[in-house]
Amino acid sequence: MSRTSPKGSGPVLVVEDLHVAYGRVEAVRGVSFSVDPGSLVTLVGANGAGKSSIINAISGLIRPKSGRVTFDGQDITRTPSHRLVGQGLVQVPEGRQILGTLTIEENLHLGGWHVGGASAGALTETYERFPVLGDRRHLPAGSLSGGEQQMLAIARALVARPKVLLMDEPSMGLAPKVVDEVFRVVDEIRTTGTTIVLVEQNARRALRAADHGYVLQTGEVVHSGPAEELLADPKIIEAYLGVEATR
Amino acid sequence: MLTDATLTFVALGAIFAYSFYAVLVAGQLSLGQAGFASLAAFTAASLTPRPSEVGEIPALLIAIVIGMVVGSAAAVVLGLPTMHLRGVFLAIATLAFAEAVRILILNQEWTGGAQGMSVPKVLTPGIAWAVLAVVAYWFARMGRSRYGRALEAIREDELAARAMGIDVGRHRLAAFTTAGAVAGLYGVLWAYYVRLIAPEDFGFTAAIDGLVTAVVGGSTMFVGPLLGSGFQTLIPEIQRALGVEAGWIRPFVASALLLIIILFLPGGLASLVRRRIRMPKRRMGTPEQGLQTRSHPAPGELLASLEGLSKEYGGVHAVENVDLELRSGEVVGLIGPNGAGKTTLVNMLSGLIPPTSGLATVLGTQVGRVPVHRVAKAGVSRTFQHSKLFNRLSALENVLVGGHLVSRPTFLRRLLWLPSARRDELAALDHAARCLERVGLYDLAGSRASSLSYGDQRRLEIARALASDPTLLILDEPAAGMNHVEANRLSDLISSLAADGLTILLIEHNVGMVLSTCDRIVVLNFGKVIATGTPDEIAADATVIEAYLGSAEAGTRPTDRTEGSHP
Amino acid sequence: MQQLLNGVFIGSIYALFAIGFTLVFGILDRLNLTHPAVFAVSAFVGIELVADAGLTVWVALPIVLFLGAVLGLVIERVAFRPLKNRPDAHFAGLISSIALAGMFIALLQWRYGPDTRRFPAGSFPETPIEFGGVAVTVLQVAILFISVVLMIGLTWLVARSRLGRGMRAIAENPTAAKVLGINVDRVTSVTFAISSALGGVAGALFAMNVNSAQLGMGAAIELKGLAVIIVGGMGSLPGALIGGLALGLAEVFAVQYIGSSWRDLIAFGLLFLILLVRPQGLFGARKVREV
């Protein structure tokens, strides 16, 4: 269902010294990281740390002030978003951003915009994986619950057969049980070989699912390392709460 | 080249443009002025006694009075039902009104129907320009009055204006009435110059022409309409001088110029004129003279109490059953992860949105039942999560608007140049300057708000919020986007404000800052209060940490990992 | 009954014209006030094609459709795209489109002079068809037919095609559309092209219906078109259709029972009523937006 790069071909996504500013506010100050094919990398940090800005800069929704983003060896720093989806870089945006007035099936068709819509095969696969979407395929997407909308947002992104999936805070506003489901889906996607860059405020959950993690604070990477190590590191609490960890 | 007719039309055009200016300065896209002018012209022309009976000037004066009254009345008739319309909807509604008036008049007997009505010619260029001078004077004096600033604030950000205590409805209606009166004045003068008035004179084209003049001239400074009208009249003159005589060129060039202006010089010609910024002189002397400051409750008194407060959007509980008390002199922090409901809660507290259920009483007012500006009047002041400054105004002017509730109205006294008006204005300026100084922005008082650095903008919002001498100050993520140094400075400022006796409610994502600044902290998650206590208690509270970072339960990590990534 | 049919004929033209406003408002949240000028330009060009170039009316119409589309692209590029990210975009868009409209009408005056133009005699079949006690001309039937075909085509396009999905996506949430990889600029241009193409055909059909074209016809229909979309609901396609028909019928009956001089007032009466009672219109779902 997804496209993968041949093994051993080097990182599929490289971010070098990225700076993002909104007017005068520097949201991202010199962030660098790279992502190997098939891995799950997570960017965690408190709200306002710049995580979403990084994702939006990678996917072409906003223009970075400086720095470089390379995708599959090609410089995509200034490429607009509508070209990147076709190349396999797909984003599941913050807050889901599904189109409530369109039906579930139409939303899925929009996921396949670049190939003229979702193919019959893609639709079948989607409904198998997410039966709740299949049951209500002709209902407006706005009738779905928050968790179901998140599933739709993910399904929609998968229709585009992504090489790299950028997920922006998929657990936001969802109840813990639903968050479990979301992460279960994330794990499943990983088994197909899709590379995932996951941005999350819920650091522990994200690190449990990831291979590698980067902790951001006010636009900079303050910690990084294998996810297991970060999970056990009390310094994370400090990055979030700004205090010495007491536990 | 400058014939009597040209001079008169420039003056008339400017007066008509002022009727648009009167509403555009408040950001209201009302285009019904042609209708007001039409009604005024025909009514005055039919009711006024003939100049041969009472003399030319008296007749004109009577006509003007009738016209202005009719114009104002028509404006009120239009303004009241359209109170809640904005932007495009208001434009369409008012255009429709003007058209409806035209058709109405077309079908009346007493107006002469399509033939029109003949009116004796009384107006001379001298009179026209004299009237224009009076109108321009009115708007010039309005600019720096409390009323004028309030209108501009409404234009820049209506919600922020409400939060400063400005009664938007009343101000808007006043702007409409002014527009009606000036349009009525124009209609009468026009009638007593062109000898024959017909409904067509005040039709769609005239309406658009007036709008064009107002836009070309610009609505950010009182000279705008004058510049616009002069400019518009110049075109056919230049055309004539060049000997090019084709009917289509004038409208083409006028439209092209309008297009160029709106694309490249959106503020109109007036934006080329530098806006003089008043700078206050440093004065000693009692600050309270000339200001209407309020009395504050004693420390420890109950200021706000929320009982079972909830807000629901279609089944989703943004805020659920919150109980909270705020006492005078406290610094209370409100924290929680993204989407926890903090801003919704604060929006209810400050009266911006009504609760779905529960009770919220703040400073004796039941917020949620009263308009926003009443809550401000009760003594609540706030900043916003996304900067809502009055962008085209200077820092000083922003704070002056913030002081709306404590400064005295000065417009009418300004018209007469009364010294007491000047005194009150200086007091207001002083007060604003002191607020700026408090946050360390005195040196930037003359800078446009939109040109300030982000950190300075956040501080300016605080200065503006302070200007109303509030009892309760709500700060909504004031440190957003700030680095450590700036956040520390902000923390110090908040502490010093608290030391002055202000009660402060602080929403922040920078938890460290909240822990070090606040006396008491309330933690929200999924719309509910999950913890309250002192900073120490909260920092050690496991549920709080879990809310932010997620559950500490060790779950099993999927083990078949073959690749990782490297920095 | 005769009146009913007359109302339907004129109403279908109103609907066709109003759809242009609705499409652009739906996707951009802006009002394109150059649309009435396209209406007028197309009428004049249509007449010229028949009178001077000797084409039949049925050949002239597709050409006018194409011309409208081209004008739509120009309008988007010149009056709306440069304003994309400005804070005063709504107001500025109104003014820029008014300005462009003024330029178009001035150019019309340059080319055709200030007088009314008409189709040459015999341009369309005049023979009335009678049935059930009412008389309609072939022309009127043709106008209705063309309008209906175009409107059906558009409805299908918006509801079923990939382009239509993209348009609806952008109308609801431009950010989501970008995330999906939709080229928002390109789809917006196409929307303008379609909207102006329809407006152009409406202009030509209108000129055929009354056999005349004047410089002021754009202004005359502008407010009616606005009334239709306000009543029907800005951004709602069915609203424009129903609203147009409703206006056409209301006008015809008003003339019948109240008198022709009050005819134009009907539009505004309806408009005002709806704005006060239900500002989002009969079919509109959105909140009344602030500028």
- For residue range C21-53, what is the model confidence (pLDDT) as tens digits? 889 988 888 889 999 999 999 999 999 998 888
Name the residue among C88, C107, C262 with its Cβ closest to that of B107.
C262
Whether residue B281 has pLDDT greater than 70: no
Which of B25, B99, B109, B390 has the most C C-beta neighbours within 10 Å, making it the best mutation to test the interface with C?
B99
The reply to whether C131 falls in a domain is: no
Whether residue B88 has pLDDT greater than 90: no
pLDDT of residue C56: 85
The reply to whether C286 falls in a domain is: no
What the block records as the tokens of A99 is 């189109």
pLDDT of residue B338: 76
Give the least confident one: A117-121, B204-208, C232-236: B204-208
Q: What is the mean pLDDT of chain B?
A: 85
Q: CA dist B220 to B21, B24, B149, B153, C88, Å?
A: 9, 9, 11, 12, 14
What confidence tens digit (pLDDT) does each residue in A31-45 have? Answer: 999 999 999 999 998
A110:C180 CB<8 A: yes
Greater confidence (C290 vs A213) lies with A213
Chains with 3+ CB–CB pairs under 8 A to B are A, C
Whether residue C72 has pLDDT greater than 50: yes
Greater confidence (A231 vs C164) lies with C164
Whether residue C230 has pLDDT greater than 50: yes
Q: What is the mean pLDDT of chain C?
A: 87
A48:B548 CB<8 A: no
Contact residues, C window 11-40, toward B, CB-based 8 Å cutoff: 30-31
pLDDT of residue A244: 46
pLDDT of residue B554: 44
When pLDDT is averaged across residues A217-235 and rounded to a whole number, the result is 87
* Contacts C176 to A, Cβ<8 Å: 93, 97-99
List of residues 6+ apart from A55 with CB closer than 8 A: A43, A91, A166, A168, A197, A199
What the block records as the tokens of B510 is 């920078």
Q: What is the mean pLDDT of chain A?
A: 87
DSSP 3-state assignment of C224? helix
Residue B1 — very low, low, confident or very high, per pLDDT cuts 50/70/90? low
When pLDDT is averaged across residues C94-102 and rounded to a whole number, the result is 91
Whether residue C257 has pLDDT greater than 90: no
Cβ–Cβ under 8 Å, residues B259 and C99: yes
**Measuring CA to CA, which residue among B400, B475, B387, B477 is closest to residue B435?**
B400
Domain ranges for chain B, please list them: 4-200, 393-469
Whether residue A156 has pLDDT greater than 90: yes
When pLDDT is averaged across residues C217-241 and rounded to a whole number, the result is 87
Pairing of strands B520-525, B357-362: unpaired
Whether residue B211 has pLDDT greater than 80: yes
Residue B177 — very low, low, confident or very high, per pLDDT cuts 50/70/90? very high
Alpha-carbon Rg of chain B, whole angstroms? Answer: 29
CA–CA dist A39, A71 (Å, integer): 15
Residue B562 — very low, low, confident or very high, per pLDDT cuts 50/70/90? very low
Whether residue C276 has pLDDT greater than 50: yes
Whether residue B244 has pLDDT greater than 70: no
When pLDDT is averaged across residues C284-289 and rounded to a whole number, the result is 51
pLDDT of residue A96: 85
Distance between start and end Cα atoms, chain B: 76
Instruction: Please report, for the domain that includes residue C54, its CATH number.
Output: 1.10.3470
- What is the value of ipTM here, to two decimals? 0.88
HEC per residue, B50-66: CHHHHCHHHHHHHHHHH
Contact residues, A window 169-228, toward B, CB-based 8 Å cutoff: 169, 172-173, 175-176, 187, 190, 201-206, 208-209, 211-212, 214, 218, 221, 224, 226-228
pLDDT of residue A241: 62
pLDDT of residue C15: 93
A102:C168 CB<8 A: yes
Chains with 3+ CB–CB pairs under 8 A to A are B, C
pLDDT of residue A246: 42
B252:C106 CB<8 A: yes
CA C196 to chain centre: 8
pLDDT of residue B368: 82
* Contacts A93 to C, Cβ<8 Å: 175-176, 179
Whether residue C254 has pLDDT greater than 70: yes
What confidence tens digit (pLDDT) does each residue in B328-338 have? Answer: 989 999 998 87
Greater confidence (C41 vs B408) lies with C41
When pLDDT is averaged across residues B271-296 and rounded to a whole number, the result is 66
pLDDT of residue B121: 84
* Contacts C233 to A, Cβ<8 Å: none
Report the DSSP beta bridge partners of residue B291.
B407
pLDDT of residue B566: 37
C78 lies in which domain range? Answer: 2-114+144-277
**Does A4 contact chain B (CB < 8 Å)?**
no
Total of domains in chain C: 1
Domain ranges for chain A, please list them: 13-97+164-241
Cβ–Cβ under 8 Å, residues B508 and B458: no
pLDDT of residue C285: 65
CA–CA dist A224, A232 (Å, integer): 12
Torsion sign over Cα C148, C153, C158, C164: negative
CATH class of A13-97+164-241: alpha beta
Cβ–Cβ under 8 Å, residues B385 and B160: no
Question: Which residues of chain B have a Cβ shorter than 8 Å from any chain C Cβ?
Answer: 27, 29, 81-82, 84-89, 91-93, 95-97, 99-100, 103-104, 106-107, 158, 204-205, 208, 211-212, 215, 246-249, 251-252, 254-256, 258-259, 262-263, 266, 391
Chains with 3+ CB–CB pairs under 8 A to C are A, B
CA–CA dist B375, B468 (Å, integer): 12
Give me the percent of chain A exceeding a pLDDT of 70.
94
Whether residue A2 has pLDDT greater than 60: no
